[in-house]
Structure 1
């Protein structure tokens, strides 16, 4: 489960790059109740998105030279430079070298060999998000890729992430957890794009899941605000009720309300 303790290798930040930042802030504020707050003049226009006064995400105007459109997942690391070098050795791509984001962290932009973009976050001084695993906050991340085994090997080599197979109706899910932390610390999974119609024609990506008190209500609200449904709300025994949607710019994310039996 994602927590705000953020062990090395686990997701600890997420942000949105948008060509129309004001419109995106309006959409997500209406959907999740987030309140935008400028990170300060030294942060170059970066915006913190607050949930009940705690940081749940970040956002910025799209910078095509260094950023990417849509949601980007960050993983906590001890050494951004060393992690970027490890990604290159493992046949990934360094999109941009470690850079200081004043008042927040040292970050690097990377892609895995299949092309899925992600970033690493070396705290300086901010450890990570202040809200996680609750309605309106990041609670899971999922890599959609054509080769599950190859991707799992890459992230193990670069981030130390370990995997295990979790049985569910219809198959086995490849889960992710920090090195040495055990399966109780699972924070995400890896699925093949070959089996998901919602991935047809889409490049590999990290899909963030945000917690929902009522998945169906949030899906309806997202469409009212100009978003679209990529996968309708569906109940998965032992997991919860989840849906996959896109904001008005087409940037995807998922919603989930956990199964009470699983949470017990």
Structure 2
């Protein structure tokens, strides 16, 4: 199992979480789909559950809590990027035409977090690790394997992420229109425009989970009350599908091609 044993480099996706209206139902759904274990956390953590795979932290699921007088927040998977200083990173976001959705806040002794948006309105999180570094297992069936920015303005994104967060944006070989997000020489995510997505799709970050079989996972999700938004198909990296859980959270699954 590919365990993470060193700190995430700044700019690298390090965690994902879902805030759901029915946290218990979400925990059961993803537990059945991916084999996660997780229970609602203590009141001082807002009930937030750190889900595990093989005893290692893999993702978070919390209860969504509408602010007074505000509509219920959308049920979405949020990608968090590692930063050395969440407050400084939030300032850099603003200085580069992004916006702060939720100011940096302390999360017990685990770290500091903020929720921000890039100039194309794609929302993501910032995570300054203290006692908790992020996902402890990745690139394994049931764990996160890729994070992808789908943006209405790739040109603006190409300017923003290097300037605000030091993430390089470079064309990806053999994938016209697709770009790699790089930290140093390491590709840590991808970026593309919205041309291939349904009309009206907003800019967003999409989480990919690795699976052994994309077709069987899509079938299991359908039987559990989810929706297959894009049926399993073959692409350059493997066989993938885009899915929506019963409460509206959208994510992708992929069975990656293995070298012979």
TM-score, normalized by the shorter chain, greater than 0.5:
yes
CA spacing shift, 1:155–1:64, aligned 2, 3 Å: farther
Matched, 1:36 2:38: yes
Give the whole-Å Cα distance in 1 for the aligned partners of 2:49 and 2:77: 14
> CA offsets, 1:193-217, max 9 Å, x none?
1x123x4222211000000111111
What is the TM-score with the length of structure 1 in the denominator? 0.90
Superposition deviation, residue 166 in structure 1: 1.5
Superposition deviation, residue 125 in structure 1: 1.4
Matched, 1:114 2:112: no
Paired residue for 2:221?
222
**1:16/1:69 contact within 8 Å kept:** yes
Q: What is the aligned counterpart of 2:52 among 40, 50, 53?
A: 50
RMSD of aligned C-alpha atoms? 1.8
Matched, 1:89 2:91: no
Runs of at least 5 residues in structure 2 that lack an aligned partner in the other structure:
none
What is the SS of the residue equivalent to 2:190? strand
> CA offsets, 1:225-246, max 9 Å, x none?
1111111111113x11111111
Q: What is the aligned counterpart of 2:179 among 154, 174, 177?
A: 174
Superposition deviation, residue 38 in structure 1: 4.1
Give the whole-Å Cα distance in 2 for the aligned partners of 1:230 and 1:121: 30
Superposition deviation, residue 29 in structure 1: 0.8
Higher helix share: 1
What is the TM-score with the length of structure 2 in the denominator? 0.92
Runs of at least 5 residues in structure 1 that lack an aligned partner in the other structure:
none
Matched, 1:125 2:125: no
Paired residue for 1:191?
192
